[in-house]
């Protein structure tokens, strides 16, 4: 059994991680650290775990584990790593954004960096918007076909904003509402561009990204379009071949919807051709494939386990 610890256990991504790891056949959760919640039962904070988890939050860190998941707020991981002597042999998977542009950490998008993930013990888990958008564009980039600007519209559930309440996340504001935020300037753009340039070194096009806050809790539904000379049949073949061996990314010829991926580690990708434009839909759950599920996928890769171990999750469907 792999022994794992979770740092920053009170938030949404940590709660999702605990839910997944509770039923992972090769993992034992050694501790869940949270200074603010120390001494409380985990199910007092993550109350869907009543009857499922008898752990208590700890204030202390132990390095007597095989892996640590960092689920702290953005900006906190470098201080944690500097203040704690984490042995090199302990795998660290950071769900924050601090190391996603750091060459000393491997960017944990398995569809792009699987081999490097398998050889590393320091993994920067991708952002949720970034995961959906990159998986929509990666087949084109790997073939050098990103030759123009890309237009992106993506809507996310309220859990993407984290658990701390704010004026634009509480129910009375978010319900029956829709809004744009960080248009053309979202923080995930840097990691998206970095991966696209890794796949296609000559890509210099603009990424015109309009993020939206949605009136739902979980999921990301991204639509993208750009100029492309391939016809629809060629695009279908390209996308199907790119993802044929992927355990979680699936190309569908049917028009996808969000409930197909909520509560799963799947990404559904759909591609069409309209005139000279290729139109792409990419849908994920922001808390699973966009965060905690992908983190467990990376854990499996690091330790040589079948990639789907602990991640055979069913969508809500309706």
Please count the other Cβ atoms lying within 10 Å of the Cβ belonging to residue 52.
13
Identify the H or E element spanning 52: none
Strands (E), the chain: 2-7, 27-33, 57-58, 67-70, 91-94, 106-107, 122-124, 150-156, 179-180, 207-213, 220-227, 249-251, 267-274, 277-284
Residue 73's contacts (CB-CB under 8 Å, 6 or more residues apart) are 8, 11, 96, 162
For residues 219-250, b (16+ Cβ closer than 10 Å) or e, as one string?
A: bbbbbbebebebeeeebbebbeebbeebbbbb
Put the strands of the sheet holding 249-251 in their side by side order.
179-180, 207-213, 150-156, 220-227, 277-284, 267-274, 249-251
Please count the other Cβ atoms lying within 10 Å of the Cβ belonging to residue 88.
8
Residue 32's contacts (CB-CB under 8 Å, 6 or more residues apart) are 5, 6, 9, 14, 18, 42, 55, 57, 58
Separation of alpha carbons 31 and 62, rounded Å: 8
**Which residue shows structure tokens 């993994």?**
123
Instruction: Please indicate whether residue 53 is annotated as part of the active site.
Output: no
Give the SS3 label for residue 88: coil
Identify the H or E element spanning 43: helix 42-45
Separation of alpha carbons 212 and 182, rounded Å: 9
Active-site residue identified among 53, 71, 128, 267: 128
Residues noted as catalytic = 128
């Amino acid at each position: 059994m792999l022994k794992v610890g979770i740092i920053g256990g009170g938030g949404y991504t940590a709660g999702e991680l605990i839910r997944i790891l509770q039923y992972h056949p090769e993992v034992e959760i050694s501790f869940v650290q949270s200074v603010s919640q120390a001494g409380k039962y985990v199910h007092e904070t993550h109350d869907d775990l009543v009857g499922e988890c008898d752990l208590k939050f700890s204030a202390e860190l132990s390095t007597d584990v095989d892996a640590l998941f960092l689920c702290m707020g953005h900006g906190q991981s470098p201080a944690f790593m500097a203040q704690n002597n984490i042995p090199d042999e302990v795998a660290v998977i950071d769900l924050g954004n601090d190391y996603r542009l750091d060459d000393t950490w491997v960017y944990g998008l398995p569809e792009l960096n699987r081999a490097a993930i398998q050889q590393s013990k320091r993994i920067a888990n991708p952002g949720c918007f970034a995961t959906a958008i990159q998986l929509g564009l990666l087949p084109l980039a790997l073939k050098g076909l990103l030759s123009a600007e890309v237009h992106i519209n993506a809507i996310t559930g309220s859990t993407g904003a984290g658990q701390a309440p704010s004026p634009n996340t509480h129910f009375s504001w978010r319900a029956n509402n829709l809004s744009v935020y960080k248009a053309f300037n979202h923080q995930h753009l840097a990691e998206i561009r970095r991966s696209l340039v890794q796949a296609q070194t000559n890509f210099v096009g603009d990424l015109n990204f309009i993020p939206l806050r949605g009136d739902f809790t979980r999921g990301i539904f991204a639509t993208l379009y750009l100029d492309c000379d391939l016809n629809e049949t060629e695009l279908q073949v390209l996308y199907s071949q790119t993802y044929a061996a992927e355990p979680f990314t699936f190309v569908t010829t049917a028009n996808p919807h969000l409930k197909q991926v909520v509560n799963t580690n799947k990404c559904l990708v759909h591609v069409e051709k309209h005139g000279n434009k290729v139109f792409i839909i990419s849908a994920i759950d922001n808390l699973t494939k966009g965060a905690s599920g992908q983190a467990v996928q990376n854990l499996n890769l690091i330790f040589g386990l079948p990639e789907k171990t602990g991640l055979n999750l069913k969508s809500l469907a309706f």
